[in-house]
Amino acid sequence: MRRLVLLRNHCAGMTLLLCVGVGSASAEESEVSETDLLNGTSPLRDQGDLAARMVAGIDRFLTRGLTASVERRGGHWKQDFSSREAYARSVSANRERLREIIGAVDPRPLPVQMELVGTTEQPSLVGQGAGYTVHAVRWRALDGVDGEGLLLRPTSSPVARIIAIPDADQTPEMLVGMAVGGAPEGQFGRRLAEACCEVLVPALINRSDTFSGNPRVCVTNQPHREFVYRMAYEMGRHVIGYEVQKVLAAVDYFASPAAGEKRPVGVMGYGEGGLLALYSGGLDSRIDVVVVSGYFQPRQQVWAEPIYRNVWRLLSEFGDAELAGLIAPRTLIVEACRGPEIDGPPKARKGHVGGAAPGKLTTPSIDTVRAEIERARGTYARLDASGNLKLIISQGGKGPPGTSDTLAALLAGLGQEAAASRLVSVGQPPKDFRKGFDPSDRQKRQLDQMIEFTQGLVRQSEFRRREHWSKTDASSVQKWTASCKAYRRRFWEDVIGRLPDASEPANPRSRRLYDRPKWRGYEVMLDVWPDVFASGILLVPKDLKQGEQRPVVVCQHGLEGTPRSTIEPRHAQAYSRFAVRLVERGFVVYAPQNPYIGGDAFRVLQRKANPLGLSLFSFIIGQHARTLAWLASLPFVDAERIGFYGISYGGKTAVRVPTILERYALSICSADFNDWIYKNTTIDHRTSYLFTGEYEMPEFNLGNTFNYAEMAGLMVPRPFMVERGHRDGVASDEWVAYEYAKVRRLYDELGIGDRTEIEFFNGGHKINGVGTFEFPHKHLKWPR
């Protein structure tokens, strides 16, 4: 039971409203405080774990957003159906945005040469089948990155040229029958060669974890695809983009005189290969026919698939039906069959640390495949190409890929109906001339090349960021802040993801939690969006005078923390009770709850947010904006003197939230500031996030746009400080000092060097509370 009590603050002369808990509340919560200052709030009656409820509410918000994304995508399309040529022009911007979000942005070397790979002991000719030969080949896709695989060449002139892409866990040899794996009828690479097609079968990065790591540093249980994804995503690239580039480089070759007489080009893929076929066909109109097998379906559940399928902003503009719209009016054949099925990443084991992201693949129901096909039919119909979109079902959607009907439709789409008569469902596999061939060497080469290409991007990233920031003007503080407005907007909209302003009334609620000799503490809840609220604990000094307005320090907890972490003795080893120590110095203190708590429960929020062009910090910024507005409304708060002080994940917050929300008058980053891009991408240090379970850390294309120095630059002219323990395992002192030196130089050159500091101390991952306590005294103008 709860009752409302009207009290009078005798010291301040204010009338106050207090909610007094009875029954289930703690003894301290039940006491009536005559100095409760939370006027204008209603009773907070919510019980249970508010942090878990916060995460669950954001999850519901995102789930609705994923569902609604289907209807909202139309706003990104300006299709012109007046002619096929006009349509192609009208979707060119969509095609370029797709290229950008999958990271297929690097120039491919031209001309492409198809190299025969052999040695003195083993020539490139590795096999021979009925009417075709099999060669080991490679072709250059990017600088230092080759495609590798098998080229099946008919002994007579080919009727078509086809890139047959296996699933990630299939080798090229499996797709042509030179290795065990899959049903014989699913060996569509071989079967198309038997039908007199020239067939190129590329090797993909697989889902094993054999080489995921640096043997000198750490090896993880992440699938190879995830290991590449994590570092590439930070650099605006993607394992999907890299492999699409390999496919398109093969198209470059097939379209060149070096390939011989011009022939129609098709791409067919299964599983992960189906994904690549769909994306490649959407990007390149030189591909005449696209076959997607074991992949096509609604994508609103992409967050539950393996993380290497996570694409920034994908669902804001593209589902599989929209990607089909980029292929239209060309022929697209969707084969509904049993897809690759995995329950998750490899298990952690001796020699391979855990931390891989969860994610499953299952075969979709035939109804869901049909539903997505139906969404695509409208585009084909308006282009008078309805017959070019085909759905072929293999045994009710559960059969093997590469049915004879599918291959016949592919050949017909390429204008080679007669070749379909040569299709053999179960033929003889080609004879393998190699002895004891091990595909793992090729897999390691392919993986190493992608890693090295990405590490090269990391090494160049500082120069790319300088180019990105070249339009700023550092000749004065005024010109710097004016020129940073566009960068602040890009940071919010393009990197973090911007949500609309709060849509719900704040409806502030409160209850007292603490009553100490010098201060009182109140739990607070504020509404933001449907199902999304902000909460925290407000600490108020007892010596406030009537009409006095004091500065506020917002004290932000770290990973898996709560506002109580900043207050209570049991968390003092890391947090040093810094909220309490600051309120005892006379500051008003607010400790917010941020939603990075609950393990995979909160990391899934990032998975659900990214395809919508959002992130966890999209919500944190909205929560803090609502909190700042509420704090500014309190009569004892000086709205111009609200500072931020965060540790660990709260330090991550310190360079993301105050840089955007200019109402924060200063920011202190503790136990987090470092060369953030290097930390997220390097394979050479054990502290790298490549080797941990924080799979939510990569932020798309951050490496080319904003490191921590650039984020801190958005604080100018407001004060900014770094707190660093020598033994903090987040990074080395050298990383921290190197990145901070750029901040110090900027402030110095702008003539405001006294507004930034760094304090090193003998200690680890913790609040030290020496210089960082003096910093708000100085810059929030509160005497000690």
Q: What is the pLDDT of residues 455-474, one digit of tens each?
A: 999 999 999 999 999 999 99
713 to each of 14, 400, 421, 534, 743, how far by Cα in Å?
42, 56, 67, 27, 7
Nearest to 758 by CA among 734, 746, 741, 735: 741
pLDDT of residue 37: 57
Q: Is the dihedral of CA 467, 471, 475, 479 positive or negative?
A: negative
CA distance 584 to 599: 33
Contact 325, 375 (CB under 8 A): no
Structure tokens at 265: 């080009």
pLDDT of residue 23: 32
Other CB atoms within a 10 A radius of the CB of residue 661 amount to: 18
Contact 544, 587 (CB under 8 A): no
CA atoms within 13 A on the CB side of 197: 37
Q: State pTM to two decimals.
A: 0.94
Residue 350's contacts (CB-CB under 8 Å, 6 or more residues apart) are: none
Q: What is the DSSP letter of 753?
A: G
Containing H/E element for 372?
helix 366-382
Where b means 16+ CB within 10 Å and e means fewer, 213-241 reads bbeeebbbbbbbbbbbbbbbbbbbbbbbb
Distance between alpha carbon 39 and the CA centroid of its chain, in Å?
42
CA distance 278 to 273: 9
What are the respective helix, strand and coil percentages of the chain, to the nearest 5? Answer: 40, 20, 40
Residues of the chain with pLDDT under 70: 1-37, 425-426
Other CB atoms within a 10 A radius of the CB of residue 278 amount to: 25
515 to each of 30, 539, 563, how far by Cα in Å?
11, 10, 16
CA distance 393 to 634: 64
Contact 565, 579 (CB under 8 A): no
Contact 770, 759 (CB under 8 A): yes
Per-residue model confidence as pLDDT tens digits over 634-643: 999 999 999 9
CA atoms within 13 A on the CB side of 465: 23
CA distance 124 to 134: 8
Q: What is the DSSP letter of 476?
A: S
696 exposed, middle or buried (CB, 10 Å; 0-12, 13-18, 19+)?
buried
Q: Which residue has the tokens 């997607």?
A: 292
Structure tokens at 597: 């708590």
CA 240-245-247 angle, to 5 degrees, is 95
Structure tokens at 743: 């901040």
pLDDT of residue 31: 39
The phi, psi pair for 338, rounded to 5°, reads -65, 120
Q: Is the dihedral of CA 94, 97, 99, 101 positive or negative?
A: negative
772 to each of 351, 582, 586, 643, 779, how far by Cα in Å?
41, 10, 15, 12, 11
Pairing between strand 197-202 and 145-154? antiparallel
Nearest to 402 by CA among 339, 320, 325: 339
pLDDT of residue 508: 97
Residue 655's contacts (CB-CB under 8 Å, 6 or more residues apart) are: 667, 669, 672, 673, 708, 711, 712
CA atoms within 13 A on the CB side of 48: 5
CA distance 70 to 761: 52
Task: Render 94-158 in DSSP notation, one character per residue.
Answer: HHHHHHHHTT--SPPPSS--EEEP--SSS-SEEEEETTEEEEEEEEEEETTEEEEEEEEEESS--
CA 426-431-434 angle, to 5 degrees, is 140
Helix ranges (DSSP H) in 437-504: 440-468, 477-483, 485-490
CA distance 414 to 291: 12
